[in-house]
Amino acid sequence: MIIDMLSVPSVFRVDDKVALVVGAASGIGQATAVALAVSGATVVCADVDLHGAESTAGRISRDGGKAAALLLDITDAKSIDPATDQIKEVYGAIDILVTTPAVNVRKRLLTYTDEELDRVVDLNLKGSFRVTRAVARVMAERGRGSIVLMSSIRSVVVEPGQGIYAATKASLVQLARGFAVELAPQGIRVNAVAPGVVDTTLTAPIKKNAEWYSAYASRSALKRWASPEEIAWPIVFLASDASSYITGTVLFIDGGWTAIDGRFEPPL
C-alpha cells in the first residue's frame, strides 16, 4: 500500500470504518471503543454486560460519535454468528475487530481445579477464537479488515499462580500469527497487543494491596501502571491504515517491563 505523505494525519484515522469492540463495557475495551470513535469509526460496543456496553455507547454518542450497544457472550458459541450477521445487516461490514475479555484465576497448580481451567481457557482462548472466526468470515467477503487480539506480558514472563492465564495469553500470540498467515490472501491483518499492568477491573484485587501494587509499578522501566487509554491508542494504530504492512506480530505495551530485569540495579 502506497501512502501519500500529504495525508499522513488521515492514515492514523479510521473514518467510515465499522469496529466491533468486544469487552467494551469497561477497562481496555471501553477505552478502545472511545478511542476508535474519536478516530472516526462507527463502534459496536459488545459485552456480556449490556448495561455497561450501553453506557460506553452512550458516552460516545454524547461526544458526537457513532456507536451502538450489543449483548454478546463469546463463551456462547451459538450466539456469535447471529451477532456478527446482525452487525453486517445493519452496517454492511465489519472492518475492525478488537476482542479484550479475559479472566484470571490466581491459584497455584496443586490447588487449581478442572472447572477453573475450563473457565479461563473458555473465555480467554476459545472465546477469542470464536469471535475472530466469525468476524473473519465477514471481513473476507470484502477482502479487508484488521483484527487485534489481547495478549499480555504474561505470554513471555510469568509468576506463581498465573500459569494457566499465561498459557492462554501465549496461545493468543500464536493464534494471531497463524491467523495472519491464513487470512492475508483475504486482505485481513491480524495482530496482538501485550499490555503490562493496567489499572482495570481485572487488576482491582492487586490495587487493593498497596505492597503488591507498588511492586508491580517498580517492575517496569517507567515505574508506574498504565491507564486503559495508553493501551487503546496503540490498538487504534493497529486498526488504521498507518499499520497497513503490520500483521502477525505482537506489540508490547508494557512500560519496558519485558526489557528490564527489575530485580537489582547493578553498581556499574
Its domain, for residue 119, covers 15-253
Written as one letter, the residue type at 182 is: E
Residue 2 lies in a domain: no
Say which CATH number the domain at 63 has: 3.40.50.720
What's the mean pLDDT when you consider all of the chain? 93
Residue 5 lies in a domain: no
pLDDT by residue (tens digit) across 154-195? 999 998 999 999 999 999 999 999 999 999 999 999 999 999
Does 165 participate in catalysis according to the annotation? yes
pLDDT by residue (tens digit) across 80-119? 999 999 999 999 999 999 999 999 999 999 999 999 999 9
pLDDT at 208: 87
In percent, how much of the chain has pLDDT > 70?
A: 94
Residue 266 lies in a domain: no
Across residues 116-144, what is the average pLDDT?
Answer: 98
Residue 72 lies in a domain: yes
d(CA 239, CA 236): 5
Is the pLDDT at 8 greater than 60? The verdict is no
Residue 259 lies in a domain: no
Number of domains in the chain: 1
d(CA 21, CA 33): 6
Strand pairing of 42-47 and 18-22? Answer: parallel
Burial string for 165-194 (b: 16+ CB within 10 Å, else e) reads bbbbbbbbbebbbebbeebeeeebbbbbbb
Residue 133 lies in a domain: yes
Residue 7 lies in a domain: no
Written as one letter, the residue type at 181 is: V
Closest to 104 measured CA to CA, from 88, 90, 120, 128 = 120
Considering the candidates 91, 112, 165, 213, report the single residue annotated as catalytic.
165
d(CA 223, CA 255): 8
pLDDT at 1: 52
pLDDT by residue (tens digit) across 44-79? 999 999 999 999 999 999 999 999 999 999 999 999
Residue 1 lies in a domain: no
